[in-house]
Structure 1
Amino acid sequence: MDSTRRTLAKCITWQLLGIVTMTILSLPHTGSLLSALGLAVSASATGFVCFFLHEKIWNRVLWGRQG
């Protein structure tokens, strides 16, 4: 099992990778590095919040749990 610090580090590096990837993918569509970065950061933040809420909801679902 990972420590909380390790899990947090993995989450941060995963989000940074996503921001870089989304910036690169959206740059040709926006024509502006700042716009592409803004789009990437907003998508990352939205995804983070949605995933957090998704996990909280699934934590209440007993289906498929063992033990």
Structure 2
Amino acid sequence: MDSKIRLFTKAATWQAAGFFSMMLIGFLFTGSFAASGGIAFVGAVTGFACYLVHEMAWSRISWGRDIVRSSGK
């Protein structure tokens, strides 16, 4: 299971990349840095929260993980 700080860091770096791409897309559609920044900010906050909850839920599910078993030697 990932630590909470690892989950937080993964979510933050993912959202930073998403923020800049969302801001570029918003600017291309609106032609406004202010509007594109607002769109990107709301999208980043919402996406961050959703990603963090998603990762926390999946970290509790063992399905599909390779389990390393010690031989006890």
* SS across alignment from 2:28: helix
TM-score (norm 2): 0.63
RMSD: 2.5
Q: Which has the higher helix share?
A: 1
Structure ranking higher on relative contact order (CA contacts 8 Å, 6+ apart): 2
Amino acid in structure 1 at the alignment position of 2:30: T
Rg larger in structure: 2
- What's the % identity of the aligned pairs? 37
Runs of 4+ in 1 over 2 A off after TM superposition: 10-18
- Runs of at least 5 residues in structure 2 that lack an aligned partner in the other structure: 69-73
TM-score (norm 1): 0.67
- Runs of at least 5 residues in structure 1 that lack an aligned partner in the other structure: none
Residue in 2 that maps onto 1:19: 19
